[in-house]
């Protein structure tokens, strides 16, 4: 589901309602409900089944106590269905300030950050971040809340922010990778991507699927960090979890770490960072092998 596209469709509908469509003489200044539902259906699925409601210029009443609305923000409206609620806001605050405010205020309103994955290996999103590069995720009992700020390229205007509440949202479940039915242990550690980075995002299409398994993991990361900064970010985590830096090579885009294994074996971990053909993206490859040397 593409919530960013749904948000744009909602914003266009509300903008048309507020500014573009003149009031009909003796009638209501509103867009027909069936037209709005038809516009959203390709991106959002059915919005009419199970009882849904559109709100204009306000947050749905049930969500008001649980959603932070920044000072000066303009609420465009939203839609409620039996499984989710989406609210669209126009916000003039700078992006970094906005993300910090949501991280602070949503916790005060009773939401929590997602827990770290209990199983799995390789690259995972930074705790509390969503699939979009600037998105944030919060959890409550049986629900997830995703905050996605969006700015049209070179628009210079306010941010469009979508707040999506899902019942039993999968974004609040621990990430569990496929575990083969064997007795050997996973070789790769779990390492968290930097905050403000997105794994295999649309901006980095096509995704990097060159390696995946218990001894290799690859991804294409959308990030503002350079390969040198990324290597430093991951190196701190590996050092804290018991890996020893063995070497780095080239322009600090490849690092090697070791960690004692069973008997005389040592696990050797190699992280290679290569600029992607997609602008603003880096290709990451994490590999591990067992050696007899120390």
d(CA 78, CA 58): 8
List own/partner pairs for 48-55 with CB under 8 A and 24 or more apart: 49/81, 49/82, 50/81, 50/82, 50/83, 51/81, 51/82, 52/79, 52/80, 52/81, 52/82, 53/79, 53/80, 54/78, 54/79, 54/80, 55/79, 55/80
DSSP-assigned beta bridge partners for residue 256:
247, 270
Kindly provide the b/e burial profile for residues 121-134, where b requires at least 16 CB atoms within 10 angstroms of the residue's own CB: bbbbbeebbbbbbb
Q: In the prediction, which pLDDT does 41 show?
A: 67
The pLDDT of residue 181: 43
The first and second tokens of residue 56, run together, are 């204009």
Q: The tokens 């050797």 sit on which residue?
A: 268
Query: What is the SS3 assignment for 11?
Result: helix
Give, for all 294 residues of the chain, the pLDDT tens digit.
344 445 445 554 444 443 334 444 455 556 677 777 777 666 655 555 445 678 889 999 889 999 999 999 999 998 887 778 899 999 999 989 999 999 999 999 999 988 765 556 788 888 788 878 888 999 988 889 999 998 765 566 789 999 999 886 556 764 444 444 444 456 788 889 998 888 878 888 877 666 666 688 888 999 999 998 999 999 999 998 889 988 766 544 888 988 888 888 888 999 999 888 888 899 999 999 888 765
Domains and CATH numbers, the chain: 3-172 (no CATH), 190-291 (3.30.310)
Nearest of 126, 130, 129, 134 to residue 151 by alpha carbon: 134
Provide the pLDDT for residue 84.
82
- The predicted pLDDT at position 24 comes to 45
Tokens of 152: 């049209």
What letter would DSSP give residue 16? I
pLDDT at 282 (0 to 100): 92
């Amino acid at each position: 589901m593409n919530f960013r596209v749904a948000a744009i469709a909602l914003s266009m509908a509300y903008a048309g309602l507020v500014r573009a469509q003149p009031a009909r003489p003796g009638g209501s200044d509103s867009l027909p409900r069936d037209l709005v539902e038809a516009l959203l259906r390709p991106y959002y699925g059915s919005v009419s089944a199970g009882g849904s409601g559109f709100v204009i210029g306000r947050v749905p009443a049930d969500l008001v106590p649980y959603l932070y609305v920044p000072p000066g923000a303009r609420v465009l409206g939203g839609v409620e269905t039996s499984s989710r609620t989406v609210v669209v806001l126009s916000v003039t605050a700078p992006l970094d300030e906005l993300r910090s405010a949501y991280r602070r205020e949503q916790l005060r309103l009773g939401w929590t950050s997602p827990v770290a994955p209990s199983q799995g290996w390789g690259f995972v999103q930074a705790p509390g971040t969503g699939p979009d590069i600037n998105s944030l995720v919060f959890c409550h009992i049986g629900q997830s809340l995703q905050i996605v700020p969006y700015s049209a390229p070179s628009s210079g205007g306010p941010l469009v922010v979508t707040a999506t509440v899902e019942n039993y949202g999968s974004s609040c479940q621990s990430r569990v990778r496929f575990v083969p039915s064997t007795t050997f242990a996973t070789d790769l550690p779990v390492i968290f991507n930097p905050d403000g980075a997105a794994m295999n995002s649309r901006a980095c299409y096509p995704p990097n699927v060159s390696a995946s398994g218990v001894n290799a993991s690859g991804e294409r990361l959308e990030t503002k960090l350079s390969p040198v900064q990324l290597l430093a970010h991951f190196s701190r985590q590996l050092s804290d979890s018991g890996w020893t830096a063995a070497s780095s090579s080239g322009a600090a885009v490849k690092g090697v770490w070791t960690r004692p294994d069973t008997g005389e074996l040592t696990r050797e971990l190699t992280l290679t960072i290569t600029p992607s053909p997609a602008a603003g993206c880096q290709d990451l490859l994490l590999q591990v092998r067992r050696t007899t040397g120390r």
